[in-house]
Amino acid sequence: MPGKTLLIVQHMAREGPGGHLRAALAEASLPYHVLEIWHEPLPSLETFAGLIVLGGSPNVDEEELYPYLRPLKSLIRETIASGRAYLGFCLGHQLLGHVLGCRVGPLPRKSVGFIPGELSPAGRGHPLFDGLPDRFPLFKWHGQGVLPPLSSGLHILVKSAAAPVEALGMQNNSRVVGLQFDNHAAPDDVAEWLEHDHAWVLDGTGVDPAALRQEAGKQEAAIGLWFRRFMGNFCEVTGLT
């Protein structure tokens, strides 16, 4: 049987597990291994209790540009089939939707910054969102998303005005969830992403980087609190704690 260690897949040097995620895993005393997939081979799942896939620049269909996407998709399928836990953020959410038969493509406009999200009726009844308010802030950093209608057996858990599928889950498996938003990122992560993706952020969004950094500071306490509650639920539901 696998231990409690999580495998965290990182796509880009500057986009590792965010401060809120590291804090939540430390609070749960949950060990993890970060795999830099652009230059490291994917390991066997045998010794891991679950898989977390972070965000990054690739689109789900860019397998020629990013050859590691093919084995990563296979690993996601294996994770689900084996009954292990899966949590995807941003690209990790899109990859989950993709392997489960959903369409993934460009949204009408990029979604960058803090916006309100709302739990759907399915989300309000989902154990991973237990104790979270019906509406809470989402930190967004993407131009693509999972597009409705979802495949059979899936349901929307969170929605917003910017993206119709902010979170999705399997109707018969609460251990598998994708989040389009990046609430694992703390203010220091936001500042680093702004520094490295400055041109992308400014292109067509109207985002003020200084205002976004300030907003990250204002939202830190609330997002950190709710994210730790979400991760506590994730660990409990998946048997990791």
pLDDT digits (tens, 9 = 90+) for 16-34: 999 999 999 999 999 999 9
CATH code of the domain in which 12 resides: 3.40.50.880
Tell me whether residue 59 is in a domain: yes
Segments forming the whole domain that contains residue 107 = 6-237
116 part of a folded domain: yes
- Does residue 94 sit within a domain? yes
Strand duo 85-89 + 50-53: pairing:
parallel
List, for residues 31-49, the tens digit of each pLDDT value. Answer: 999 999 999 999 999 999 9
Contacts of 58 (CB under 8 A, 6+ apart): 11, 65, 66, 69, 91
Alpha-carbon Rg for the chain in angstroms: 16
According to DSSP, the residues that pair with 53 across neighbouring strands are 9, 88
Q: Is 42 exposed, middle or buried (0-12, 13-18, 19+ CB in 10 A)?
A: middle
Distance in angstroms (rounded) separating the CA atoms of residues 154 and 160? 18
Residue-wise pLDDT tens digits, 150-201: 999 999 999 999 999 999 999 999 999 999 999 999 999 999 999 999 899 8
Find all residues with CB under 8 Å of 118, minimum gap 6, and list them. Answer: 134, 135, 158, 159, 160
Q: How far apart are the C-alpha atoms of 55 and 117, rounded to whole Å?
A: 19
Element (H, E) at 234: helix 209-237
**Residue 231 domain flag:** yes
Question: Is there a domain that residue 122 lies in?
Answer: yes
pTM here is 0.97
- DSSP character string of 115-161: EEEEE-HHHHT-GGGTT--SEEEEEEEEEEEEESSPPTTEEEEEE-S
- CA dist 112 and 110 (Å) reads 6
- Assign 2 a pLDDT band (cuts: 50, 70, 90): low
| Percent composition of the chain: helix, strand, coil (DSSP 3-state, to 5) | 35, 25, 35
* Half-sphere exposure at residue 5, Cβ-oriented, CA atoms within 13 angstroms: 15
Q: Which residues contact 226 (CB under 8 A, 6 or more apart)?
A: 132, 133, 136, 183
Q: What's the mean pLDDT in 115-144?
A: 98
* Tokens (6 digits) for 140: 């967004």
The SS3 assignment for 69 reads helix
If one counts the domains in the chain, the total is: 1
Q: Does residue 1 lie in a domain region?
A: no
